[in-house]
Amino acid sequence: MATNIYVQKKSDVTRMIDEYRAHGYSAYRTRLTCSCEEPRNCRCGAILINNKGEHEYSVIRCKGCEKGGSL
């Protein structure tokens, strides 16, 4: 099961992609769902795949989830 990483800004998603790519991960931007109530739970983010081909992390841009609550 992939671990979710919540960030507040799209630039934080880009920074995480760059950091993990430098360590050999593959990264793909996509739309992901967070734990907020619908219809506000479809967020931009990225999935990070390790060098074994396993989905290890999901980076999700959501201010509410990043702070520990939902919007």
- The answer to whether 15 and 27 have CB atoms below 8 angstroms apart is no
Asked, for residue 54, whether it belongs to a domain, the answer is yes
Asked, for residue 70, whether it belongs to a domain, the answer is no
DSSP H or E run through 59: strand 55-61
The parent domain of residue 8 ranges over 3-63
Query: What is the CA angle 16-19-21, rounded to 5?
Result: 105
Domain count, the chain: 1
Say which residues have a Cβ less than 8 Å from residue 66's Cβ, sequence separation at least 6: 6, 7, 8
Asked, for residue 28, whether it belongs to a domain, the answer is yes
The 10s digit of each residue's pLDDT in 17-69 is: 999 999 999 999 999 988 888 777 889 999 999 999 999 999 999 888 877 75
Asked, for residue 40, whether it belongs to a domain, the answer is yes
Asked, for residue 71, whether it belongs to a domain, the answer is no
Say which residues have a Cβ less than 8 Å from residue 36's Cβ, sequence separation at least 6: 62, 64, 65, 70, 71
pTM given for the model? 0.83
